Amino acid sequence: MSTFTIDDRLLRSTEWVADLPLCRLFLQNDTRYPWFVLVPRIADVTEIYQLADADQTQLISEISLMSRYLKEELSVHKVNVGALGNVVPQLHIHVLGRDPSDATWPNPVWGVGVAKRYSTEALQEGVDRAQAWVMTKI
Amino acid sequence: MSTFTIDDRLLRSTEWVADLPLCRLFLQNDTRYPWFVLVPRIADVTEIYQLADADQTQLISEISLMSRYLKEELSVHKVNVGALGNVVPQLHIHVLGRDPSDATWPNPVWGVGVAKRYSTEALQEGVDRAQAWVMTKI
């Protein structure tokens, strides 16, 4: 068992928001969609079923937390949840908001087009807003 | 609250495998990928967070069950899990196996290409094999 670290490819495309009970929570640095990434803080896991039962329960609770943030706070039309890992095998779960007017609707967002980065200020605003909301819920 | 039914678009593309404690389990009728669809048997739900906490726990347990089937029985390279609902809003979760040699690797499978249907015999074999395995686990 190795030490828990986050894959560099995830770090390069995201900004840290918070450490939830199980997962490190990131905001994806891409203005095309309100998009979060949850990474369980457990080393050497690539599939959900490899987590202990209690961690699986906590994971779906954290997926739901961020889904509620997207729907109730950001008023997105639909939440998309995906655990793929075809490019970055480290277990990470995408939780993002979709709208019929967005760039790739109704298709998935992964592997399509090029990320549009936030400005430094807008990225910090996105992080601060999510962080403030999450901190009242955990 | 309406009665639970399954969206016709899901029924047309799948074959029934089993009723798990929470979800109706289907095999996607598409030979390109070993592909299952889980539909919680609860009416009027479009997002995971709308399920009761106990049902969320059961849902991730059933996602893990089918992930284990794909990895341990069918020896797939990677499991992909997705809850999108951009086209069919009824909550349904895709759990499917991916391989670097498959048609769309490493991109997602949704909305790409055209399903290749099983023969009647091969579809029944796929259902029977999954059903037999699942029945020993629940």
pLDDT in tens, B2-17: 899 999 999 999 999 9
Pairwise CB contact (< 8 Å): B57 & A59 = no
The pLDDT of residue B138 is 86
Q: Indicate if the alpha-carbon torsion angle B26, B27, B29, B30 is positive or negative.
A: positive
pLDDT tens track for A35-81: 999 999 999 999 999 999 999 999 999 999 999 999 999 999 999 99
User: From the CA atom positions of chain A, what is the Rg in Å?
Assistant: 14
For chain A, the residues whose C-beta falls within 8 A of a C-beta of chain B are 46-49, 53, 56-57, 59-61, 63-65, 67-68, 71, 78-87, 89, 98, 105-108, 110-112
Class of domain A8-135 (CATH, top level) = alpha beta
Count of H helices and E strands in chain B?
3, 5
Pairwise CB contact (< 8 Å): B60 & A64 = no
Return mean pLDDT, chain A: 97
The pLDDT of residue A138 is 86
What is the spatial distance between Cα A110 and Cα A122, in angstroms, rounded to a whole number?
A: 22
Domain boundaries, chain A: 8-135
| Identity of the residue in B47, B53, B67 whose CB atom sits nearest the CB atom of A49 | B67
User: Of all residues in chain A, what percent carry a pLDDT higher than 70?
Assistant: 99
For residue A21, is pLDDT > 80? yes
The pLDDT of residue A1 is 62
Q: At what angle do helices A53-68 and B53-68 cross, to 10 degrees?
A: 120
The pLDDT of residue B1 is 62
Residues of chain B with pLDDT under 50: none
Question: Quick one: average pLDDT of A122-128?
Answer: 98
ipTM: 0.97
| Identity of the residue in B48, B63, B98 whose CB atom sits nearest the CB atom of A64 | B48
Residues paired with residue A98 on neighbouring β-strands, in sequence order: A78
Short-list B121, B74, B112, CA closest to B95: B74
| Residue A105 binned pLDDT confidence (cut-offs 50, 70, 90) | very high
* Tally of CB atoms within 10 A around B71: 18
